[in-house]
Structure 1
Amino acid sequence: MSRPLVVGNWKMFGDRQMVAGLVGAVAEAAAARAGVAIAVCPPFPYLSQAAAVLQGSALRLGAQNLAVEASGAYTGEVSGAMLRDVGCHYVIVGHSERRSLFGEDSALVARKFRAALAADLTPILCVGEQLAEREAGDTERVIAAQLDAVLELCGEQALAGAVIAYEPVWAIGTGKVATPEQAQAVHRFIRQRVSAAGSTPTILYGGSVKPDNAAGLFAQPDVDGGLIGGASLVADQFLSICDAALPR
């Protein structure tokens, strides 16, 4: 695999003071952690400030969402070109909260993935199953369908340079977490599924990752890092997770 990657998804938290302090602390610490790639995804209003704070550091910037359209009369939307213009490298597409709370289906997620590529952004494609789907034994079917929507729209090589984040929906914000063995099984399935199409993406685990469980998850052979939610809002916790991802 390539260098491990740890991405902090701030969701709808933060203010200018937090950006200055948290991004500044992580950017300063990133230099001593060259073995792991690190990125942060603040809310839209703070992207420009974050870009200024991390300028010259190894820390990369990402956004949490983007519009399908490249430009136009779409009030309230933000295009990929705009994200790239303010300094973003990554953009999250298909997060479970976008799918469940805002009704984004896999067809729309695939179009957002394509829009990210068109804007020269690296998409972080989120996939994952609900608790009922896992209990019914449908995990692989659900994730395959989410992946196939992107492959069918964007082509077999679409995932080659992308990032995939497996986030079991039942483990997000619940305090529950997949065991390392459960995470590895799904990551292995994802890798096999996309390698058949000639892709070798970075595959992250997301779902209540904390400093005390990160090492066990990241030790799995098909887990390339993490998409971190709540723990990314505290510098010490986030950096401890980054340390857990460093190659041993």
Structure 2
Amino acid sequence: MVSNTTTMSSLDLTPFGFTPTESKVYQVLLTSGPGTGYAVARSAGLARANAYSALEGLVSKGAARGEDAQPRVYRAEPPTAVLARITAVQGEALDQLAAALEGFGAPVSPSIVELTSVRGLLQLLTHEIGRAKRSVDLLAPADAYPLLAPALRRAASAGLAMSLYAPVKVELPFVQVEAIGEVQGWPGAALIAIMDGAGAVIAARQDGAIQGHWGSAPTFVAAAQRSSDGERWSSARKVRSVRRCPPGSTGRDS
């Protein structure tokens, strides 16, 4: 049974399709545990009808479940499950929006956009890799690759030219990811991505936070390409080329 709560930290789910009342009720379920609609209404300071409406809204959106009992008891879905559902819905919405926007013939103008969210960056990369037609160059932390794997798999299956790098060894069954060590002189874990030579991401992750930019301006893309041709990446390519030399070869031109 839900007990009364005297204080509540703010939980705002409204940017993700929930109402303010649903946000408040979900918070009550998380902090105080399962309860009937009556108990939830008392804890949240809501009219009973409003509480029941919010609870059913949470159930329909996958953020709560109602147990088959009399009276009905409501239980919050785990935050990780709710986050996964929101991410999936947001991803589908972004894909639909991208398809709709591509139907308009507006001229392309160079742009640069600041990136401050880890999740937002991963969603952007998934979208941009999925849109690529010719090539994908990517340097990313090792733990980013499992999250980007579906988009990278589609790119590999489509035959795109791909150059993938990580600080440490990463195993993907469908494409090689080369371990190059930590990128020196970068303010955190480096993330550089170039798609089709027309759009790029330059970012750094430090203490769980992201600072960086996505851009399509030619100078910005050129800077990303220049970064990808730095000494450490070049060294990695040289090592790879030597390893592929035939037995007995020195790997040097005669």
Q: Per the shorter chain, which TM-score range?
A: under 0.3
Q: Normalized per residue, which structure has more strand?
A: 2
Larger RCO, structures 1/2 (Cα 8 Å, 6+ apart): 1
Q: TM-score, normalised by structure 1?
A: 0.25
Q: TM-score, normalised by structure 2?
A: 0.24
